[in-house]
Amino acid sequence: MYAQFHRRRTLRRGAALVAMASMQLLQACQGVLDVSLPGKVPETALTNPGLSSTLVNGAQADFECAFSEYVHDTGLWANETLNSSSNGEVVGWGARTSSYDNGVLPCQSAAATLGNYALYVPLQTARFQAEQAVATLDGFTDTQVPTRATLTATALTYAGFTYTLLAEAYCQVATGPEPLITPAAALAIAEARFTRAIDLATTAGNATARNASLVGRARVRLDLRNLAGAAQDARQVTSSTFAFLATYNTQPVRRYNTAVAATTINAHESVAPEYQGLTVGGVADKRVPVGTDPKRPKGQDGTTPLFLQLKYTALDSPMPIATWDEAQLIIAEADPASAVTAINNIRTKYSLPAYTGTGSAADVQEERRRTLFFDGHRIGDILRYGAPYSFATGKNQKGVPYGDRTCLPLPSSETNGR
């Protein structure tokens, strides 16, 4: 049989039917995804060592689709962007009043389905695919798959990041038919995945997977308040040019950078005022590039002034998953004595005026807000920091009241009958 992804109940059954969902979409990809695959791959092929790279590529493709959805969707939820649409779904999501069952669509396969805030099923698909790839590779030998260590490290890296994203955004996490777990428990799983990835990548000489997993584990340890461990991991990422990227393309639709499609192209979201016109010592802060279009001054709703995020400018713009920048910010937060140096390291990289503060927690958090703008960090940061860092309250620019939800609720299919 061929695996298909079915909504809702599928996730409670451990997502067993999603195994090959991503294999249908790997044409026209970039970088390590420059491969040409058949339209469908039978599940029995997963036992073929010769398809190990295909399996890991599939896990990567599913993660990347989920990641652009995550960045776009949580960016609106956490008010990096504002609803500038007349679409009811955008209005509800931007006001944090969306139904619990939003996000149960798979990654989009047609342009008409863009903007459906479909992040839950894509994330769970990516999680299952990465875990499946690891389990399959563990059943092979190095003789059967000479690159098994580096492939396993790569799959573990993506697994670690899916658990991290789920834990940072959702109120609870589902990992199959087992009882729901807390975000902290999901972060512990992510830490274990990253730890194994670091060990394998070190042995295999895979610097990309190693550095990505070091940043990932540092991020998780920061969330878990293991500050010494977070700083130790982050300090091992030494190249200021390091960036572990999610890749995108102009075809097929599910390879789009969704943030670009929803903001720059379709004008459904506008950059929030608190991210507009930011400066450092009178110099424009290039970490938060925002612009306008004289030919399109208003959003899709015809009323909201349209400010465009320029961090991602095209449907094939890559997105950072883990970077040296983030590692420096983790050092700054986890080790206050190093905060001034870490902040200045980043400012030097972006040719910004030197930081002259004391490295206060508020200053570190502001540097994170700017440096990691629209990278998928803001929702987790607000939940981790707590007051006075909070989600928007009152009414938005259209007079729509904000809801009281903070973390993302699970769809009813994950909670009914448990």
pLDDT tens digits, 238-285: 999 999 999 999 999 989 999 999 999 999 999 999 999 999 999 999
- Amino acid (one-letter) located at 30: Q
What are the pLDDT digits (tens) for 182-219? Answer: 999 999 999 999 999 999 999 999 999 999 999 999 99
d(CA 396, CA 83): 9
3-state secondary structure the chain: CCCCCCCCHHHHCCCCCCCCHHHHHCCCCCHHHCCCCCCCCCHHHHHCHHHHHHHHHHHHHHHHHHHHHHHHHHHHHCCCEEECCCCHHHHHHHCCCCCCCCCCCCCCCCHHHCCCCCCHHHHHHHHHHHHHHHHHHHCCCCCCCCCHHHHHHHHHHHHHHHHHHHHHHECCECCCCCCCECHHHHHHHHHHHHHHHHHHHHHHCCHHHHHHHHHHHHHHHHHCCCHHHHHHHHHCCCCCCCEEEECCCCCCHHHCCHHHHHHHHCCCEEECHHHCCCEECCEECCCCCEECCCCCCECCCCCCECCEECCCCCCCCCEEEEEHHHHHHHHHHHCHHHHHHHHHHHHHHCCCCCCCCCCCHHHHHHHHHHHCCCCCCHHHHHHHHCCCCCCCCCECCCCCECCCCCCECCCHHHHCCC
Torsion of CA 46, 48, 49, 51, to 10 degrees: -60
The model's pTM: 0.90
Residues 6+ apart with CB under 8 A from 39: 24
Gyration radius (Cα) of the chain, Å: 21
State percent of the chain over pLDDT 70. Answer: 87
pLDDT over 80 (residue 79): yes
Q: Which of 165, 177, 152 is nearest to 53 (CA)?
A: 152
Q: How far is CA 368 from the centre of its chain?
A: 16
pLDDT classification of 126: cutoffs 50, 70, 90 = very high
pLDDT classification of 115: cutoffs 50, 70, 90 = low
Measured on CA atoms in the order 268, 127, 132, 412, is the torsion positive or negative? negative
d(CA 251, CA 90): 24
d(CA 231, CA 215): 10
Higher-confidence position of 366 and 17 = 366
Question: How large is the average pLDDT for residues 103-119?
Answer: 76
Q: What is the pLDDT of residue 3?
A: 32
d(CA 356, CA 345): 13
Q: Which of 385, 59, 352 is nearest to 222 (CA)?
A: 385
Q: What is the pLDDT of residue 399?
A: 94
pLDDT over 90 (residue 321): yes
Q: Which of 66, 62, 81 is nearest to 18 (CA)?
A: 62
Give the tokens for residue 105: 């669509």
The structure tokens 């398809």 sit at 51
Q: 403 near 96, Cβ under 8 Å?
A: yes
Domains of the chain in start order, with CATH, are 9-248+318-386 (1.25.40.390), 253-309 (no CATH)
**Residues counted in the chain:** 418
Q: What is the pLDDT of residue 51?
A: 94
- Amino acid (one-letter) located at 391: F
pLDDT classification of 412: cutoffs 50, 70, 90 = confident
What are the pLDDT digits (tens) for 143-187? Answer: 999 999 999 999 999 999 999 999 999 999 999 888 999 999 999
d(CA 121, CA 100): 13
d(CA 347, CA 258): 29
Measured on CA atoms in the order 254, 130, 231, 70, is the torsion positive or negative? positive
What are the pLDDT digits (tens) for 11-57? Answer: 333 333 343 333 333 333 333 333 333 334 456 657 899 999 999 99
d(CA 309, CA 288): 8
